[in-house]
Amino acid sequence: MSKPSRQIVTVFTDASFCHKTKAAGFAVWIKTDACTLRHAGAFKIDINEAWEAETAALANGICAALGRLDMKAGGLIVAASDCLRAIDIIEGRGGQPGKAMRKVRDHVRGELKARGVELRLKHVKAHKGKSAGPRHAVNEWCDGAAKVVMRERRAANSNVRPRSSDTSVA
């Protein structure tokens, strides 16, 4: 009798943050052998810095993989972010983040531990373009989708109509 194969899930995340208005959005791309899931949205918590947005996006992607794919013990999530600080925070390195990000980090780590799922975090260099390979193409999709959400949030919180260049996907 053969041993069941290990469930391996790849997750890419990115965030977009406007320092002036604090508007933010995130996108996640999740891939298994069986399916690909893509999602972009606004955060449920207040975001005050770009690294917080990146950390929350990474957490959202990991938790989406755990929940939407009903991951079981022995599974592996390989998650990629273009933010080294977000990776360090989720891994528990790099000093103490504020209360909100500690809560986000602790939630992710608790979910992984409770399910017995291993996490490996990887850095992907940002803005290399789709021609730099499949990892960069996925990162570019996440970047563009997160920017759309951020711009929608910025426009919704402003009395000023966005310029046409602000509504295009970068």
Q: Kindly report, residue by residue over 76-119, the tens digit of the pLDDT.
A: 999 999 999 999 999 998 777 889 999 999 999 999 999 999 99
Rounded mean pLDDT of the chain?
87
Token output for 54: 């990146």
| Burial class of 118 by CB neighbour count within 10 A (0 to 12, 13 to 18, 19+) | middle
| pLDDT score at 164 | 40
The pTM is what? Answer: 0.86
Top-confidence residue, 151 or 95? 151
Q: How far apart are CA 65 and CA 59, in angstroms?
A: 10
Q: How confident is the model at residue 169 (pLDDT cuts 50, 70, 90)?
A: very low
d(CA 1, CA 16): 48
Give the bridge partners for 123, in sequence order. 81
Q: Classify 80 as helix, strand or coil.
A: strand
Instruction: Return d(Cα 43, Cα 131) in angstroms, integer.
Output: 30
